[in-house]
Amino acid sequence: MTGRGVERAMTDRDAQRVDVHREGHVLIVSMRRESRRNAVDRAMADALDDALNLLDDDDDLWVGVLTGTPTVFCAGSDLTAGGDYVTERGGEYGVVRRRRRTPLIAAVEGPALGGGLEIVLACDLVVAGAGARFGLPEVTIGVVPTCGALFRGPRALPLNLARELILVGDPFDARRAYEAGLVNVLAESGGALDAALTLAERICRNAPTAVRACLAAVDAAVAPAADAAGWQATAGALDAIRDSADAAEGVRAFLEKRPPAWTGR
């Protein structure tokens, strides 16, 4: 963490995957599975869900900050989890389909790839260290982004940049993300969490009732109809590749750490 005073607010079970700390009216949620690049499995999804439930249900919490470790934000889905990372209230990862009333800031160091970027896109504001990277590598293993990037990406980024992320699969750096408008605050490497806490403190100077009302109004204006169509389009893309030979080969090659042999079928 940082040198700021914080207190622990999670169970030992959750601490295996996620740390949660309070700092005044701010809740700091930290993914702590660095050995797997913070890839989300069932246990991590449940822990994230618990933390974000706390954020929304405690009236004394006015802003949340979601971060990873100093070297990685999140690599997305743990492929060994078999898709078992959906929670009742939060959807994928306990984050992606959640209807929050409390602002959530992503504080990103290192890579935010695949579902990790989709977690970022589900947040309200983004702070990144200079060494952060953002990418959607799904096509490189023959699959598609399924957690919102196919419609939230074009909403948060210029259309051609979103297309590049989705179709090429190569990541881009924090500077480019900042210049494109995805990142609100660009910090020095290692400084994303402190910068996110500073941003959270600025929000906390305002009336929490007004902040929540504004967040609800913005979400109501831009999300429901567009999200419904986006999820439908995402389901169509998933159906198109679900039983393809390329999807099976891509995942197999990824797990076997070898280049895939595509057939176009």
- Catalytic residue of the set 118, 164, 201, 256: 118
Which of these, 128, 130, 109, 106, lies nearest to 118 by C-alpha position? 106
**Cα-Cα end-to-end distance for the chain:** 47
Residue 34 a catalytic site member: no
Is 7 a known active-site residue? Answer: no
What confidence tens digit (pLDDT) does each residue in 100-125 have?
999 999 999 999 999 999 999 999 99
**pLDDT tens per residue across span 178-221:** 999 999 999 999 999 999 999 999 999 999 999 999 999 999 88
Domains along the sequence of the chain with CATH: 7-255 (3.90.226.10)
Question: Which candidate in 23, 88, 138, 249 is catalytic?
Answer: 138
pTM for this entry: 0.91
Residues 73-98, mean pLDDT to the nearest whole number: 92
Q: Which residue's structure tokens are 């740390």?
A: 19
